[in-house]
Amino acid sequence: MSGQADRNFPRALLSPRSVALIGASGDEAKNTARPLRYLRKHGYQGGVFPINTGRDEVLGEKAWPDLKSATMDAGEPIDHAYVMVPRAAVPGVIADCAEAGVVVASIYSDGFAEAGEEGMQFQRDMVATARAGGVRILGPNSMGVVNVHAGLGLSTNAGLEAPDLIPGPFSVISQSGTALGGLLSRGQERGFGFSKLLSIGNESDLSVGEVVNCLVDDPDTGAILLFLETLRRADDLAQAARRAFAAGKPVIAYKLGRSDAGQRMATSHSGALAGPDEAATAFFRHHGILRVDTLEALLETPYLVMGRRLSRTTKARSKRVAIMTTTGGGAAMVVDRLGLAGVEFAEPPDTVIDRLEPLGIRVGGGSPVVDVTMVGARPDVYGPTVADLIADTGNDAVICVVGSSAQLRPDVAVSPIIELGRSEKPLAVFCVPEAGESLKALSEAGIAGFRTPESCADAVCACLNWAPPAPEAAAELAQGVKALLANAHGSRLDERAALTLFEALGVASTHRLVLRPGEAAPDGISYPVAAKVLSADIAHKTEAGGVMLDIPDAAALMKAAASILESATRVHPEAEITGVLVQPMETGLAEALVGYRRDPVAGPVVVVGAGGILSELYKDACVRTAPVDRKTARAMIAGVRGLAIVAGYRGLPEGDLEALADVIVQVSKLALDDGRSVLEAEINPVVIKAKGNGVVAVDGLIVLKGIG
Amino acid sequence: MSGQADRNFPRALLSPRSVALIGASGDEAKNTARPLRYLRKHGYQGGVFPINTGRDEVLGEKAWPDLKSATMDAGEPIDHAYVMVPRAAVPGVIADCAEAGVVVASIYSDGFAEAGEEGMQFQRDMVATARAGGVRILGPNSMGVVNVHAGLGLSTNAGLEAPDLIPGPFSVISQSGTALGGLLSRGQERGFGFSKLLSIGNESDLSVGEVVNCLVDDPDTGAILLFLETLRRADDLAQAARRAFAAGKPVIAYKLGRSDAGQRMATSHSGALAGPDEAATAFFRHHGILRVDTLEALLETPYLVMGRRLSRTTKARSKRVAIMTTTGGGAAMVVDRLGLAGVEFAEPPDTVIDRLEPLGIRVGGGSPVVDVTMVGARPDVYGPTVADLIADTGNDAVICVVGSSAQLRPDVAVSPIIELGRSEKPLAVFCVPEAGESLKALSEAGIAGFRTPESCADAVCACLNWAPPAPEAAAELAQGVKALLANAHGSRLDERAALTLFEALGVASTHRLVLRPGEAAPDGISYPVAAKVLSADIAHKTEAGGVMLDIPDAAALMKAAASILESATRVHPEAEITGVLVQPMETGLAEALVGYRRDPVAGPVVVVGAGGILSELYKDACVRTAPVDRKTARAMIAGVRGLAIVAGYRGLPEGDLEALADVIVQVSKLALDDGRSVLEAEINPVVIKAKGNGVVAVDGLIVLKGIG
């Protein structure tokens, strides 16, 4: 039956008809005793087969000595095995699973890839066994699977101690087992109902993306929440996220690793400017995944976006928020944070002004906040005013701030909002006091309630930044580029070869000629020029005395070339040096950097930054998943503060940013390289000339996948 | 008795022996009925005198028609009146209060300064009446005063509906009445006990600072929490904060207005670089106030810092945090945020490594996190390990992260931490799951527990950045500067006069001479030079054709001077033009900007930024309350990213940053100007020469308080 299993795995993973608990302990104090208890506690109706080689009974239930005997008693293969044996016993158990027709094995055992090279080898071998036997693996190092609707507490996570689990539309995949329990307990307290919760473990076989894919097809799942420590197999996630988007199921991610500077790549400047976390943000954005920054927003965001149908054409171009409040100070907390995030505010429409004026409430006149403190949460005012704001096309989201009534009159405080029902317009409700009951009432109505001004602002920003997945690239890499890549040697192109490749991509590059050692400068050079050592082996040319600028004439050039070669050879005796590259001194209004990188985590990205050392200090760059279209390229340029100086700032001359956008588009096409041979590419600087005069690539770098 | 009242006001404000409720309503639905109910509900034992002109009974209690008759029945003056009458009746009531010997009147009524010019005039008149009669005013627009220990619910805030109030060491002053209730309800839910809560209202008389001062003397207050929308009368707060620090009572502020770009001053570049909120941050720091960024951290921070005695000598030079956890994912959430804030981490000491090794737990080796997941919250391991970390001098704060046990075994999860007792070392506990009981147990033990990774990181950062109040400036402004200021005319000094004043402060300025209209260039000028129109009336010289650079010789200078004068006169026919200022072209390694401003909100500040247009785009500046010492000036320079290029970055030549620090110190001395006549001063640019060669002020601006 091996090989057949795969097609059934989503059901066996999420809604198994029967489960085996391999290594189930009879000692209640042990974590491995928990799954049996949790299955019973939460009313799982399928077959449960504890397997314990040492005893025929655990926690008062019959136990089987092995999977084979359990399967015989079951009369059919068991869908899903939860494996809780020591690492050394795991390969044997997986072989047993294959033999017995188990479709999915979730592995709690640890000591695999997370435990160094030996563990990694163990993991590889185990996966090979599983693949050969048609068994899909969740984990290892997984705290299991919960299906709330089915009472399936197939988990060692203590969060399952909760007396009741609230069924609902939230499904969670977590790379941290403990976080899974944290989200479950926090969500339950807030009245959020869950469908599936999975601890993904090491992703030795099933990846986050594959499980997202299963959840897209799960009718009980309405939103998919990801707790991520890193990205693994991002392509799986990209495809699954696109399917989820098409199915109207928002995918929301909270990802750690924002501050790990140690991960940053250092080969190119663009690597330093835009590390793995910026690449991950670009990845999420590109594939229609919302990223939140605060833990609680992961739980609080779904109702803000569920049921909202974004399309590329209706995508909001602006981010204008309308605010309604029964407390000025409360509204100010949210407004303040939204302002920090660059959100704009919408003044109330005439309908609201006219409605409130007879009550003596003046709104508008420069303030975005509709403050009805004077009448409080009066149902005949509050509800219709919120309805007016929701109906107003002048805003893109509405936030309601509720004061003390949220704590004291939970029955009435949020009812005018709840009675309006869910709408297409994102609606967020922030309660200023401790207001558990009001927040629960909102959750039950499927309306997004927020406990802190910070998570409210975080979620609203994520919602406003949300865009449909970018269209999948249809274009092909130009034949000329393909040919150059196919013929490239070594792992690093020299500057001349790099510029030639950028030219093949359609990027205008500066004129250049090469003086071989001893060769005389030809006539017809237009001075002044720059000269640099030409060698793929020398990364830091300036430090090696390999660069001279503003060379005024042929005699000086000959002298410079000799000096450069002498110095470079002395500093890098091992380097293969082709000669000296001679280029005109290009001048323009500003410099930029355009980079490309195949990020090992988040896939291909393109980066644009302002040129020069200050931009490096300020880490002023914008990164997106490649390839990008021209519209995105323009948005990237607008996202680099330092490039404002050539975009009309303070009446300064404008640079040819359309030509720069074109370079970004062309360089981003390296993502279409099927062979994935380009690891990094960078043009630094791109000299930006005045509007209409184009841009020119002056220096370039290309790193290829080494052969072998 | 007027004039005597003042000395008693702290007691009458916080712990009155008797209160009058002027305008107390008999209609339970009205806010003005609440104070009587709250006083009874929470067991206030003092005299309570409802005053209602229309009825002799409210809510079943005797009411008096006026304050006079109530005072007669009381047999002595009533300490504190809460005034809840319409605005028009307030002046009469205040006169009655003065007459009857009331010490403090808290005013709930609104329509005063917050309601425009007419209300402002009303407020001024009312305060004048109160001052004349010796009555101190809290408000208007105040939701009153709560003294939890005395059961004094003298407030219209619905937060007092809570069945019981927990007494404790937290006192709160809020500029938002609703936020007061929000903090009370959130704090109660967490088991935080309160002492006093005050809604400060419009601060027409009693300011936040004066009330802080009262709380310093309140034996039941251990920490002072401020919810601020702005700063008013910052000098009061500065002095009170210093007293609070000396008394060991931390003052912690959450302040809105972080994103209000509209408030920013625009006259000088430094105004644009460092607006009112940066000035407020500098103010808090200067006076030993902790500033938190998230709402919940306001409540969660006190136990992190209470009882901690900072001194200027023991001030931690580094910010190294040690982390202990029973869940890797949970620790990562906090570490990630701390990393974003630039906090460093401390590896565990040998004591911890040696303690855990026999248990098979390996820690250290590059990771700061002590992860005891394997043994969980085992009391014989957890407690002693935390004790080791607390004892370690290699860290400055310890964070304990607790996983699922915090939810499920609140009795044991945090007990190893609680049993250690409070220590001098800041100790923060973050609970990953929903863990209300564990958090309450921590609160009861006076240990700082945190509900979110964001507020935990926020509070720990605030704690690590906390420093004692800066010593009060003893120095005087130099006589030469005083004389220049005394003789200055107009509201703006021209560039020459500004540079002369900076020279008097001890700042090296560039050589300069003035060519009057028609005057010939004298001999002895060392070319090239720059020429600029000299006029206090022309702010934007370049736009007026009033600046020419790189002038090579005398002939060109004469031509340039004529052109500058012609153009400037044409563009600004109204301007008084002295002539043309001629200066050498100063060159250096980089440029900086040094500014001074008397911020209307936060008082005198000094600013240093990198020079040039990019720095303006990046808003790259550091601001501190002036005056500053040399050590602080050095720290400010280190806080400007763009100045890194002359601080040894990538082996580039170093600039004379000691000389720049000296300029900052000298310019900051303008804060010593008793007449407060300098509103703004700026040197832009200061040209930074190579190390040892000093710096030179090239262009300057000084704005004086206009006369009349």
Residue-wise pLDDT for A277-302, tens only, equals 889 999 999 999 999 999 999 999 99
Give helix then strand counts, H and E, for chain B.
Answer: 26, 31
pLDDT at position B415 over 80: yes
Could B329 and A176 be called an inter-chain contact, meaning their C-beta atoms sit closer than 8 Å?
Answer: yes
CA distance B431 to chain A (A): 9
- Residue B596's alpha-carbon distances to A106, B502, B609, B666, in angstroms, are 65, 12, 12, 10
Q: Where are the alpha helices (DSSP H) in A88-169?
A: 90-100, 117-133
Beta carbons of B404 and A617 less than 8 Å apart: no
Q: Which of B177, B113, B264, B267 is nearest to A404 (CA)?
A: B177
pLDDT for A341: 86
CB pairs under 8 A between A and B: 195
Q: Which residues of A touch B177 (CB under 8 A)?
A: 329
Distance CA B16, CA B150 (A): 9
pLDDT band of residue B271 (cuts 50, 70, 90) is low
Q: Which of B89, B119, B95 lies closest to B23, judged by CA?
A: B89
Query: Residue A570: what residue type?
Result: R
Task: Work out the average pLDDT over A38-65.
Answer: 96
For residue A190, give the chain B residue with the closest CA. Answer: B434
Contact A404 B434 (CB under 8 A): no
**Which residue is it, tokens 């945020």?**
B337
- Neighboring chain A residues of B434 at a CB cutoff of 8 Å: 182, 185-186, 188-189
User: Letter for the amino acid at A581?
Assistant: L
- Contact status of B631 with chain A (Cβ, < 8 Å): no
Q: Answer for the pair B404, A158: CB distance below 8 angstroms, yes or no.
A: yes
For A336-374, the pLDDT digits (tens) are 999 888 888 999 999 999 999 998 888 887 788 899 877
Point out the residue among A177, A403, A434 whose CB comes nearest to the CB of B186: A434
Residue B404: which of A178, A650, A652 has the nearest Cβ? A178
Hey, are the CB atoms on A295 and B454 less than 8 Å from each other?
yes
Structure-token pair, residue A492: 């690093």
Residue A320 to residues A241, A347, A466, A673, Cα–Cα distance (Å): 26, 9, 14, 39
Map tokens 């930044």 to a residue: A465
User: Of B149, B203, B201, B280, whose CA–CA distance to B597 is shortest?
Assistant: B280
Question: Which of A158, A229, A434 lies nearest to residue B329, judging by beta carbons?
Answer: A229
A155 close to B (CB below 8 A): no
Contact B258 A182 (CB under 8 A): no
Whether A44 shows a pLDDT value over 60: the answer reads yes
Residues 533-572 of B with CB under 8 A from A: none
Q: What are all long-range contacts of B611-616, with beta carbons under 8 Å and residues at least 24 apart?
A: B611/B684, B611/B685, B611/B686, B612/B642, B612/B685, B613/A645, B613/A649, B613/A650, B613/A652, B614/A610, B614/A614, B614/A615, B614/A618, B614/A642, B614/A645, B614/B642, B615/A614, B615/B273, B615/B642, B616/B269, B616/B272, B616/B273
- Whether the per-residue pLDDT at B6 is higher than 70: the answer is no
Query: Would the CB atoms of A641 and B649 count as touching at under 8 Å?
Result: no
Chain B residues with CB under 8 Å of A188 CB are: 434
Whether the CB of B613 is below 8 Å from some CB of chain A: the reply is yes
Contact B372, B356 (CB under 8 A): yes
Residues pairing with A603 in the sheet? A599
Q: Which residue of A has its CA nearest to B618?
A: A641
Interface predicted TM-score (ipTM) = 0.93
- CB spacing of B454 vs A332 below 8 angstroms: no
In the 8-state DSSP scheme, what is residue A555? H
User: Three-state SS string across B575-592, please?
Assistant: CCCCEEEEEECCCCCEEE
**Helix A177-190 crosses helix B328-340 at what angle (to 10 degrees)?**
80
Beta carbons of A270 and A279 less than 8 angstroms apart: no
CA–CA dist A366, A250 (Å, integer) = 35
Q: Which residue has the tokens 């990771």?
A: B367
Helix (H, G, I), strand (E, B) or coil at B69: helix
Rounded CA separation A410/B229 (Å): 27
Mean pLDDT over residues B434-449, rounded?
96
Give the Cα separation of A557 and A554 in Å (integer).
5
The type of residue at A445 is A
Q: Residue B47's closest CA among B27, B24, B19, B87?
A: B19
Q: Which of A83-87, A408-412, A583-587 has the lowest mean pLDDT?
A: A408-412
Residue A440, C-beta contacts closer than 8 angstroms, at least 6 positions apart: A190, A191
Sheet strands (E) in A1-46? 18-22
Calculate how close chain A gets to B643, using CA atoms only, in Å. 9
C-alpha B241 chain-centroid distance:
11
A residues 430-489 closer than 8 Å to B (CB): 432-435, 452-454
pLDDT tens figures, A423-439: 889 999 999 999 999 99
pLDDT digits (tens, 9 = 90+) for B628-686: 999 999 999 999 999 999 998 878 899 999 999 999 999 999 999 888 889 999 999 99
Residue the block writes with tokens 């007494």 = B167
- Dihedral, CA of residue A683, residue A685, residue A689 and residue A693, to nearest 10: -20
Q: How far apart are the first and last CA of chain B?
A: 38
Is B650 in CB contact (< 8 Å) with chain A? Answer: yes
CB contact under 8 A, B333 and A617: no
pLDDT at B265: 36
Using CB atoms, pick whichever of A161, A174, A642 lies closest to residue B614. A642
Closest CA to B458 of B399, B394, B403: B399
pLDDT > 70? residue B615: yes
**3-state SS, residue A664:** helix
Judge contact between B569 and B603, C-beta under 8 A.
Answer: no
pLDDT at residue B11 tops 80: yes
Q: What is the pLDDT of residue A260?
A: 57
> What's the mean pLDDT when you consider all of chain A?
91
**Partners of residue B199 on adjacent β-strands:** B144, B174
Which residues 221-260 of A have a C-beta within 8 angstroms of B?
A: 227, 229, 256-260
Its pTM stands at 0.94
DSSP label of A64: B
Distance CA B493, CA A388 (A): 54
Chain B nearest-CA distance from A167, in A, is 18
Q: Does B141 touch chain A (CB under 8 A)?
A: no
Q: Inter-chain contact B613–A176, Cβ cutoff 8 Å? A: no
| DSSP-derived secondary structure letter, A54 | T
Using CB atoms within 10 Å of the CB of residue B137, give its burial: 0 to 12 exposed, 13 to 18 middle, 19+ buried: buried
- Give the separation between CA B456 and CA B338, rounded to whole angstroms: 9
Residues 88-127 of A with CB under 8 A from B: none
A522-557: pLDDT as tens digits:
998 999 999 999 998 887 888 888 999 999 999 999
Determine the residue of chain B that is closest to A228 in CA distance: B329
Distance CA(B498)–CA(B507), nearest Å, equals 11
Question: CA A83 to CA B262: how far, in whole Å?
Answer: 61
Maximum C-alpha span of chain A: 96
Q: Which residues in chain A are closer than 8 Å to B186, comparing Cβ atoms?
A: 433-434
Q: List the single residue in B256, B330, B644 with the smallest CB-CB distance to A178.
A: B330
Who's near B212: CB < 8 A, 6+ residues apart? B173, B224, B226, B236, B237, B240, B241, B244, B251
Q: Which of B103, B192, B692 is nearest to B442 (CA)?
A: B192
Per-residue confidence (pLDDT) for residue A681, from 0 to 100: 95
Taking CB atoms and an 8 Å cutoff, what residues of chain B touch A338? Answer: 259
In the predicted model, what is the mean pLDDT of residues B376-405? 90
A617 interfaces chain B, CB cutoff of 8 Å: yes
Q: What angle do CA A426, A430, A434 make, to 5 degrees?
A: 150
